[in-house]
Structure 1
């Protein structure tokens, strides 16, 4: 990661220190076709990175990152003191104390809407909102925008809202594997009891549709690439890194925003969260009741982030933290 100076780590992932104003300033200062990468980090990213070193490396290679969500900002706050790893402190009593203490801390901060910026030197920036800031800037500069993984309905609505920029969409087949939320890929042929994680080498073989998406970006040479393929495997970030590393592909800024446009008629066409829930950092609660298919995954993310954050002081920062899948339905 080149543009962030923070040394706060969770599961080996650098947690940023950046405000929305600072992020906008960085974006405006970018050179054309600089191939800059921006990721909006949330809890699932860090949980995935804890198990998948390739994914962790991809996140840390990003030029700019921002924290998207109160949960990860809470982790940033808990670890902002940069506690040193002390193996002699690996005592069950201390671990259980951390776990219990952080339950109350998380509840007080997330539900109580406590502002942590003065401690973390960071501001929560929601990718689904900031993408409209990017489109406003693209509209002012009459830029070319490529959207990966959306559809023409979204393109038409965005073109009406931002008429001075050129918005083109590569449509993903929504009935294919590319748009399926899956955390792991094909079982390893050497042993059916293990699974291989997604990585830069197997990305295009697992999701061959992305070869067409790469060609789309190569032909367009856009100023802004917005990638909306999301999912639990990390394919969105692996794809962004793939086009950055390809010398035959040129673009200005590439950003992954997951389901940011779903409320416009893309993907699962899910509704926006109630405003006060968004402000309180309780969107996850809204999703549990409105998207039952993701309820278990959301609950697992909450428990896993709590464990990762509580256990991090007892592990070297580059070591995988063994979390237990407890309290799962």
Structure 2
């Protein structure tokens, strides 16, 4: 596994790497049958980790943590340790699907509503026909459910995408990797919804303007409470900056 330069943002060590380089590194890891834990962290995850030591401990076991969210990129810049670019979880998932199709990797999907995960399976089979999709399960189960865990472990796939939302998905991934012999496992949050068109992603020009968060807020007003974490994150960043002066 290649060692990337790290950038620390509120006690979380992010990989300072471009998406293209990261995808190449992850592909090498999958090819050599390693176990890889990938976290795509946004400001909400960073703040949650700082308030929940058990979750912070899980993140510190991750092999790669990417800056998923312009807030992380801006926070790193404020701290004087810029991150080369944002690597969004959804975009990373799409790139890994391309690699999986190219190299004929096997895969398992966990998460989302039943109708969404079924749509995701159908789309993968159609658009990435060389992927061996060994199974899937919706996200409505308890962390202690041994049957779901057993099925995924038995499949021994090269890649497992877990869309349970944080912190549940990272807790499940940790339990899985404690028992799995190989494979890349990544929490993808609500990416299955975006992948299937159940939830529309922002147009490209809005993403380039770093306003995707605003687009999502307009489309999903229920996210307002979650969005309040962004100003709290920025306040914490400026406090951290003052400590370092």
- Mark yes or no: TM-score above 0.5: yes
Tell me by how many angstroms 1:24 deviates: 1.9
Give the strand-richer structure, 1 or 2.
2
8 Å contact 1:288–1:294 — kept in the other structure? yes
Tell me by how many angstroms 1:240 deviates: 1.4
8 Å contact 2:162–2:187 — kept in the other structure? yes
Give the Cα–Cα distance (whole angstroms) in 2 for the partners of residues 2 and 216 of structure 1: 31
1:161 equivalent to 2:127? Answer yes
Pick aligned residue for 2:143 from 198, 207, 211:
207
Give the Cα–Cα distance (whole angstroms) in 1 for the partners of residues 130 and 65 of structure 2: 28
Tell me by how many angstroms 1:153 deviates: 1.8
Give the helix-richer structure, 1 or 2.
2
Pick aligned residue for 2:189 from 225, 235, 258:
258
Give the Cα–Cα distance (whole angstroms) in 1 for the partners of residues 27 and 221 of structure 2: 39
**Alignment-derived partner of residue 229 in structure 1:** 164
- For residues 134-163 of structure 1, the C-alpha deviation after alignment (integer angstroms, 9 at most, x for no partner) is 111111111110111142221011110000
8 Å contact 1:32–1:223 — kept in the other structure? no
Pick aligned residue for 1:292 from 221, 225, 231:
221
**Alignment-derived partner of residue 278 in structure 1:** 207
SS in 1 for 2:123: helix
SS in 2 for 1:29: helix
Q: How do 1:130-149 and structure 2 match up within 5 A?
A: 130-149=92-111
**Alignment-derived partner of residue 178 in structure 2:** 245
Q: Compared with structure 1, are the counterparts of its residues 242 and 77 closer, same or farther at alpha carbon in structure 2 (3 Å cutoff)? A: same
- For residues 153-182 of structure 1, the C-alpha deviation after alignment (integer angstroms, 9 at most, x for no partner) is 2101111000011124432255xxx5xxxx
1:65 equivalent to 2:83? Answer no
8 Å contact 1:5–1:16 — kept in the other structure? yes
With normalisation by structure 1, the TM-score equals 0.67
Pick aligned residue for 1:302 from 230, 234, 238:
230
Q: Compared with structure 1, are the counterparts of its residues 77 and 23 closer, same or farther at alpha carbon in structure 2 (3 Å cutoff)? A: same
Give the Cα–Cα distance (whole angstroms) in 2 for the partners of residues 265 and 284 of structure 1: 19
- Could you tell which deviates more after superposition, 153-162 or 13-22? 13-22
SS in 2 for 1:15: strand
Give the Cα–Cα distance (whole angstroms) in 2 for the partners of residues 3 and 225 of structure 1: 23
Provide runs of 4+ in structure 1 moved above 4 Å.
none
SS in 1 for 2:15: coil
Structure 1, unpaired ranges of 5+: 82-119, 179-205, 317-329
With normalisation by structure 2, the TM-score equals 0.88
8 Å contact 1:11–1:49 — kept in the other structure? no
SS in 1 for 2:199: coil
Structure 2, unpaired ranges of 5+: none
**Alignment-derived partner of residue 126 in structure 1:** 88
8 Å contact 2:193–2:199 — kept in the other structure? yes
Q: Compared with structure 1, are the counterparts of its residues 264 and 62 closer, same or farther at alpha carbon in structure 2 (3 Å cutoff)? A: closer
